[in-house]
């Protein structure tokens, strides 16, 4: 008996406490008001339950047993209303709710009549247990079973509909579980009301857990705050128990011991709640940050796409006038428009050289934007690399080498080997151009040697550019194939125009040909060797484009955000 009395009072106190807490938080919100109301009905029920069990007078016990059932009348409709408001169905189901309230109010005037509670009688360990009148049976079927079943039905329906909203589904799960435990707990009181003694109302114990409060906390204060509410509830229950123990102290010793325990627990609860609050705050901040990061990521992606698009358009627009400049200046140099004086010729060569560089730069930009958007197209065809390289070297010899005083440029092609390969000739030409152009750019004097040879057995072709230029350290070797990477500060003194894109684009092109590209140098000032290795046979472009890499990166970010 004592057990039931204590449980009832604890439930009454905690319900009142939560009703006040929730209403203080936001009394304008409908679901808060409904929660407050049903918590108060619950408190009325549990409070009267405790008092009724304390009675040893028939009249008083009958009065309080009727009072507790008055509280019980309101619980089903208020919970149904509350759940529908959380599921955002309360407007749609207004008529149904009105009917529900009307039915509920029909019971109220009869709650103190024998139609509702017939009598009280001793049963099980209880001296005065209420006996159900016929209206009470109707209440059980219509309100308790009917309203709660409807609430469960709506929860299942909304749960199924929210398959793409994991948070909502989780909330409904808690709501469902909480209500289920509460309904079963409450129902264990009924058998005794029909004189069936085999089931004792131990389900009352479930009520003290008040899982619905947790559910509410989850729904209203989001998932993290459940910890705070749970800690507060746990502490509150323990404090109430300790307080009751303190009041029941029988001797001075007990009194002192109980007060020390209670004081220590109060201090402990304070620290506990404080630390949980802090943790929740940190998590909320992290969640906020993750959200901002996600938004920034989306914005950046959009910006990146816009940038790539802009570069494509701008580069295409730039290409046509430059082609015209290049074409006309080379025709002038060749004498197509008459004889050109020697001094003008020298300047024309410079024009041609600069236009060439500009063209390379624009190509690099265009390629970069295509690579980044995963839109680089390859046109593989049988190409004689020997012929291609001879042409490129001739062009460089006529234009570039003459500019450099002390550079000797040589080309060595292994005689007997076969250099026919399946490549995108424009793109491979761009790679070779880039490597030779770099070798000239970064060499003040000495040589630029170009070698082409093949390994017929393994079907691989090797292209090499060796120079006696500025060379590079090991650390530089590892970095130069990254985009917008130029080695060291002093590179700007040697050559001011570069952007650090050529080698990145070359690497992407060679990757798409299933080939390899690498750089070697004995150190700064000791020249460099750039090598390209290409397979001769049919090439299937690799299946990871930078676009896919980007998406992979995005996935990783999403996973990270989900984790925190
Ligand atoms: P850019 O030449 O426009 O700077 P690249 O991507 O072609 O861009 O080259 C990247 C960097 O690699 C260069 O800035 C330079 O530091 C280094 N590099 C490339 N080729 C050579 C070379 N032949 N000798 C020394 N350093 C080189």
- Measured between alpha carbons, how far is 97 from 48 in angstroms, rounded to an integer? 27
pLDDT at 210 over 60: no
Say if residue 103 is in the same domain as residue 178: yes
Q: How far is the CA of 480 from the centre of ligand 1 (A)?
A: 7
Ligand 1 is surrounded, with C-beta below 6 A, by 434, 438-439, 442, 467, 469-472, 480, 485-487, 491, 498-504, 528
**For the chain, what's the residue count?**
564
555 pLDDT band, cuts 50/70/90, is low
Say if residue 489 is in the same domain as residue 506: yes
**Domain around 74:** 2-222
| Structure tokens belonging to residue 266 | 């109060």
Say if residue 186 is in the same domain as residue 330: no
pLDDT value of residue 296: 92
pLDDT at 443 over 80: yes
pLDDT value of residue 554: 52
Say if residue 63 is in the same domain as residue 85: yes
Strand partners, 534: 461
**Residue closest by Cα to atom 14 of ligand 1:** 486
Tell me what the pLDDT averaged over the chain comes to: 82
User: Do 213 and 18 touch, CB atoms closer than 8 A?
Assistant: yes
C-alpha atoms less than 13 angstroms from C-alpha of 514 in its C-beta half-sphere: 16
> In this predicted structure, which of 126-140, 486-500, 502-516, 530-544 has the lowest mean pLDDT?
486-500
Q: How far is CA 236 from each of CA 64, 233, 239, rounded to the nearest angstrom?
A: 26, 5, 5
Domain count, the chain: 3
Say if residue 385 is in the same domain as residue 440: yes
> What secondary structure does DSSP assign to 174-218, as a single string?
HHHHHHHHHHHHHHTTHHHHTT-TTS-STTHHHHHH-HHHHHHHH
The highest-confidence range among 7-11, 12-16, 407-411, 427-431, by mean pLDDT, is 427-431
User: Which of the listed residues 361, 478, 503, 529 should we mutate to test ligand 1's pocket, taking the one with most ligand atoms within 8 A of CB?
Assistant: 503
CA neighbor of 461 nearest in space, from 504, 423, 505, 493:
423
Whole-model pTM?
A: 0.47
pLDDT value of residue 115: 93
Tens digit of pLDDT for each residue in 31-75? 878 888 888 888 888 889 889 888 888 899 999 999 989 989 999
pLDDT value of residue 227: 65
Say if residue 360 is in the same domain as residue 392: no
**Quick count: other Cβ atoms within 10 Å of Cβ 54?**
14
pLDDT at 461 over 60: yes
CATH of the domain at 535: 3.30.565.10
CATH of the domain at 317: 1.10.287
Tens digit of pLDDT for each residue in 218-266? 455 454 565 676 677 777 778 877 887 787 778 888 888 888 888 898 8
Say if residue 35 is in the same domain as residue 117: yes
User: Do 443 and 404 touch, CB atoms closer than 8 A?
Assistant: yes
pLDDT at 553 over 80: no
211 pLDDT band, cuts 50/70/90, is very low
- Measured between alpha carbons, how far is 248 from 254 in angstroms, rounded to an integer? 9
CATH of the domain at 103: 1.20.1070
Residue 425 inside a domain? The answer is yes
Q: How far is CA 200 from each of CA 191, 317, 518, 519, rounded to the nearest angstrom?
A: 8, 88, 83, 85
Residue 269 inside a domain? The answer is no
Three-state SS sequence of 285-301: HHHHHHHHHHHHHHHHH
Backbone angles phi, psi at 401, to 5 degrees: -60, -35
**Residue closest by Cα to atom 2 of ligand 1:** 498
Strand partners, 446: 407
């Amino acid at each position: 008996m004592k057990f039931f009395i204590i449980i009832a009072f604890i439930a009454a106190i905690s319900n009142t406490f939560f009703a006040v807490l929730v209403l203080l938080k936001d009394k304008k919100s409908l679901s808060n008001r409904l929660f407050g109301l049903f918590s108060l009905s619950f408190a009325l029920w549990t409070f009267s339950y405790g008092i009724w069990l304390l009675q040893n007078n028939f009249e008083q016990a009958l009065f309080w047993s009727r009072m507790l059932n008055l509280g019980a009348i309101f619980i089903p409709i208020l919970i149904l209303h509350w759940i529908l408001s959380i599921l955002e169905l309360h407007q749609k189901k207004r008529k149904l709710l009105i009917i529900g309230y009307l039915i509920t109010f029909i019971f109220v005037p009869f709650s103190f009549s024998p139609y509702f509670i017939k009598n009280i009688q001793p049963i099980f360990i209880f001296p005065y247990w209420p006996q159900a009148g016929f209206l009470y049976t109707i209440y059980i079927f219509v309100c308790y079973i009917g309203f709660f079943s409807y609430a469960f039905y709506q929860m299942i329906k909304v749960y199924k509909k929210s398959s793409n909203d994991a948070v909502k589904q989780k909330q409904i799960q808690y709501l469902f579980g909480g209500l289920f435990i509460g309904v079963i707990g409450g129902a264990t009181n009924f058998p005794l009301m029909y004189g069936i003694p085999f089931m004792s109302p131990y389900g009352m114990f479930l009520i003290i857990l008040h899982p619905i409060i947790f559910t509410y906390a989850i729904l209203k204060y989001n998932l993290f705050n459940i910890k705070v509410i749970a800690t507060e509830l746990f502490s509150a229950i323990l404090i109430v128990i300790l307080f009751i123990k303190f009041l029941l102290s029988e001797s001075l010793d007990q009194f002192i011991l109980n007060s020390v325990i209670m004081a220590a627990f109060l201090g402990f609860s304070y620290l506990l709640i404080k630390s949980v609050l802090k943790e929740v705050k940190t998590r909320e901040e992290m969640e906020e940050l993750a959200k901002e990061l996600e938004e920034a990521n989306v914005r950046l992606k959009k910006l990146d796409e816009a940038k790539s698009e802009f570069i494509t358009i701008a580069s295409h627009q730039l290409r046509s006038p430059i082609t015209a400049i290049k074409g006309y200046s080379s025709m002038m140099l060749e004498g197509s428009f008459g004889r050109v004086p020697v001094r003008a010729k020298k300047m024309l060569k410079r024009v041609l050289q600069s236009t060439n560089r500009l063209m390379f730069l624009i190509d690099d930009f265009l390629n970069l934007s295509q690579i980044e958007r995963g839109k680089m197209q390859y046109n593989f065809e049988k190409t004689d690399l020997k012929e291609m390289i001879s042409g490129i070297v001739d062009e460089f010899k006529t234009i570039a080498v003459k500019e450099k005083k002390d550079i000797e440029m040589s080309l060595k092609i292994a005689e007997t080997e076969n250099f026919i390969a399946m490549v995108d000739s424009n793109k491979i030409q761009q790679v070779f151009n880039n490597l030779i152009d770099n070798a000239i750019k970064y060499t003040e004097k000495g040589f630029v040697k170009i070698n082409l040879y093949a390994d017929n057995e393994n079907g691989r072709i090797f292209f090499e550019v060796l120079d006696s230029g500025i060379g590079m350290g090991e650390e530089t070797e590892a970095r130069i194939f990254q985009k917008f990477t130029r080695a060291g500060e002093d590179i700007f003194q040697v050559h001011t125009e570069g952007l650090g894109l050529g080698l990145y684009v070359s690497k992407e092109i060679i990757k798409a040909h299933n080939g390899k590209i690498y750089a070697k140098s004995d150190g700064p000032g000791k020249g460099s060797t750039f090598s390209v290795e290409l397979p001769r046979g049919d090439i299937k472009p690799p299946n990871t484009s930078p676009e896919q890499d980007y998406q992979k990166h995005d996935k990783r970010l999403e996973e990270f955000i989900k984790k925190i």
